[in-house]
Amino acid sequence: MIKHNGHILFLTMLFLTGTALADTHYVIKDNAGAASPFTDWTTAASNIQQAIDDALCEPDDTVMVAGGIYNTGARALASQLTNSLALGGGITNRVAVTKVITVRAFSTNWADTVIEGAPDPNTVSNGPAAIRGVYLTNGAALVGFTVTRGYAYSNYSSYFGCGGGVFCGGDNSVVSNCLIVSNYASCGAGFFGGTVRNCFIAINRARDSITSTAQSGYGGGGATLWGSSATIRDCVFSNNYGHRSGGGFYGLCRVYDSTFVYNAGNNGNAAGGGINGGGSGFVSNCVIMFNSAQAGGGGVANADAYGCLIANNYNRNNDAGGYHGKLIVNCTVVSNISATASMSRAAGVSGTPYITNCIIYFNYRATVLSNYNPNATSYYSCTYPAPELGDHNITNDPAFVDVAGKDYHLTPDSPCINKGINQGWMDTALDMDGHRRIIEGTVDIGAFEFLHRGTVFTGR
């Protein structure tokens, strides 16, 4: 009797609070036994959209998707359709997550579960009949998929033409543990907007048409994020292309603990081959290597950088191969190249930078050593020659482990050990390797703290 009364009390409280138990809706591609509400594998929906449409709009509801290639069906959204029709074309999504739910792949291997968009059949490109991979409303989540061959209509006078792979409806849309590969749009070809975690973003292309040679389209081959609370964390951006700024990434959000390699911005206005922060972006503890651009910053442009390795990037014009911006702290900027000579724009760090605790070395403008702009203000950094503006800089060779092998950790003989200046943010910060930022009382110069043999440390 007590147990029965407990059930009644629980149900009464559930009714009064308006809270529903979370449901899981299942999907098996082309399941012949599909039957609403798709709450077990036997009656699973035959496509992802079917299960989404049946789900309640509850944050804890999940659509669980079995492995397969989901490349049929399409959904145009009214908010996008009205806007895009005024521009002469419609924008259609292979999957439209219009409810605040989680869409999750059952397999932990993202290669097993694929959402595939399609080009406009008339243009074989991102024309009016193109199909994007996924639309994700603000607050919804996409977990564990490969999203590929998504195309967003390329009339770039509207943001709805961005996000060939994934278009996020707000900063609280979450994409995690996904492979975003080979998508096309006028901006943010891999994804647009949202918060992104533990994803691999590769071979995405931002330009008006994949067959056009016109200098058009925005930037952000891998991604474009503009939200004040949007973040990227623990991601890899590789071999993405932005016809304008930000071959890997373009936008104002905050980027943490991520890797940007072999990305490119290709036309004369393309700044930031790896990252373009849009003027107020923030980049922390990132590896930025082997990227290229035509304008400022083959590696990074227009973003504050903390604790990053910015190395072996290339500028095809006369601006920085490494970093172009205003604030750079505890970074290692090394072996970057600018193709042409310009006394006013250095190959390593250009713009009007304020430099603290950085190693800026072995950067070349053509064949001329060119580490920083003459107007740079530098404190507690290692570079050559000694900056005229600033104080407590050293010019000695930083003594890396292996420059030719691209190992930019410090050797025991490095003059950069314990020669930086401590700042408040370092109290709980970690370096590029996950070690405490301050180990022996004083921070090291550069992106990596040196660990003496026998050092006990805590990290990630």
CA distance 56 to 102: 11
The mean-pLDDT minimum among 69-73, 158-162, 230-234, 347-351 falls in 158-162
Residue 417 CB: number of other CB atoms within 10 A?
22
- The confidence score (pLDDT) of residue 399 equals 98
Closest residue by Cα to residue 234 from 202, 274, 199, 263: 199
* 74-108: pLDDT as tens digits: 998 766 554 444 333 447 999 999 999 999 999 99
Token output for 210: 């994949």
Residues 283 and 399 in one domain: no
pLDDT band at 300 (very low <50, low <70, confident <90, very high): very high
Domain of 291, in residue numbers: 24-321
Residues 298 and 355 in one domain: no
Instruction: Collect all residues with Cβ–Cβ distance below 8 Å to 429 and sequence separation of at least 6.
Output: 307, 436, 437
Residues 231 and 169 in one domain: yes
pLDDT exceeds 50 at position 13: no
Its sign, for the CA torsion 418, 423, 428, 429, is negative
The mean-pLDDT minimum among 115-119, 161-165, 281-285 falls in 161-165
**DSSP string over 372-422:** B-TT-EEES-EESS--SEEES-B-S---EEETTTTEEEEPTT-TTTT-S--
pTM of the full structure: 0.90
Q: Please identify, among 299, 321, 343, the residue that sits at the C-terminal boundary of a domain.
A: 321
Could you tell me if 449 and 420 are in contact, meaning their C-beta atoms sit under 8 angstroms apart? no
Token output for 26: 């299942």
In a domain, 364, yes or no: yes
CA distance 331 to 286: 10
- Please provide residue 159's backbone torsions phi and psi, each rounded to the nearest 5 degrees: -65, -20
Closest residue by Cα to residue 381 from 420, 334, 335: 420
Its sign, for the CA torsion 98, 104, 106, 108, is positive
CA distance 62 to 24: 5
* 169-226: pLDDT as tens digits: 899 999 999 999 999 998 899 999 999 999 999 999 987 554 444 444 567 899 998 7
Residues 194 and 330 in one domain: no
In a domain, 10, yes or no: no
The residue that leads in pLDDT, 407 or 8, is: 407
Token output for 434: 């996950």
- The confidence score (pLDDT) of residue 341 equals 58
Residues 251 and 127 in one domain: yes
Could you tell me if 220 and 193 are in contact, meaning their C-beta atoms sit under 8 angstroms apart? no
- Chain centroid to CA 278: how far? 14
- The confidence score (pLDDT) of residue 226 equals 78
Residues 310 and 352 in one domain: no
Residues 285 and 348 in one domain: no
Residues 314 and 328 in one domain: no
Helices (H), 27-157: 48-54, 78-86
pLDDT band at 398 (very low <50, low <70, confident <90, very high): very high
The residue that leads in pLDDT, 12 or 316, is: 316
* 284-293: pLDDT as tens digits: 999 999 999 9
pLDDT exceeds 50 at position 2: no
Residues 284 and 421 in one domain: no
- The confidence score (pLDDT) of residue 251 equals 87
Residues 139 and 38 in one domain: yes
Q: What does the mean pLDDT of the chain come to?
A: 87
In a domain, 15, yes or no: no
- The confidence score (pLDDT) of residue 211 equals 46
Looking up residue 232, the CATH number of its domain turns out to be 2.160.20
